[in-house]
Amino acid sequence: MSKQDLAGKAIVVTAGGTQEPIDPVRHIGNRSSGKMGYAIAEASRDRGARVTLITAPTALPDPPGIKIVHIITADEMRSAVLEAVSQAEALIMAAAVSDYRVEGPAEQKIKREHGRIILELVPTADILSEVPDNIRKIGFAAESENLIINAKIKLERKRLDMIVANDITDPESGFNVDTNRVILIDKTGSVDELPLMSKREVAEVILDRVAGMM
């Protein structure tokens, strides 16, 4: 039986990769499978928390016993997160939210006959920076270089309690796999490099830290 150290706590978890439309058929997306976020949501539920999972499109089934909010775009993710955290004590932002969206996506499918097209991209909202500081905020940093440096910058800029960093160039901790090798960095400057684990095991370690914060 799982420990119940999160009993009665309300936790919001995000998962998957947002999709930003180019036209009604195409989108800009990323390779996130959602597996890490879903593992955290399920582990939180099993430890007694009331869980809201805000998920971009994935191939994963909705886990039972969890409130599921399906979204597609970064803007929809922002709205859902800001609404959900108003009743929560912690946010674990495992989703891969697009940093850019297409300005003025086409209303009709763009035909090949149009030839070369140029997409103008504009930044999406920084969701974590808008979440109140009274909420425990856990972010993720999926990086391809300078992992710890980039993660620490993100931790400070977004005023996070902890960030979970992983190297996406590592085939065992990249996209669409069941394992992860992460580094946990908290706002005190502590850096904890974890060995290769299943994503459920990583979720449990993250939740150990979250439970300690609360």
Q: How far apart are CA 169 and CA 182, in angstroms?
A: 12
pLDDT of residue 143: 85
- This prediction has a pTM of 0.94
Instruction: Kindly report which listed range (2-6, 94-98, 99-103) carries the lowest average pLDDT score.
Output: 2-6
Angstrom CA distances, 81 to 18, 71, 86, 94, 161, stand at 13, 10, 9, 12, 17
Is the pLDDT score of 177 beyond 80?
yes
Name the band, by pLDDT with cuts 50, 70 and 90, for residue 206.
very high
CATH architecture assignment, domain 10-213 = 3-Layer(aba) Sandwich (3.40)
Name the band, by pLDDT with cuts 50, 70 and 90, for residue 1.
low
Active site positions, annotated: 30
Q: How far apart are CA 130 and CA 127, in angstroms?
A: 5
**187-209 mean pLDDT:** 94
Burial (0-12, 13-18, 19+ Cβ within 10 Å), 88 = buried
Token digits for 40? 């955290």
Which of the pair, 168 or 64, is modelled with greater confidence?
64
**190-214 mean pLDDT:** 95
Angstrom CA distances, 92 to 15, 76, 89, 146, 206, stand at 9, 17, 10, 23, 9
Cβ of 154: how many Cβ atoms within 10 Å? 18
Angstrom CA distances, 105 to 44, 75, 114, 121, stand at 37, 14, 15, 10
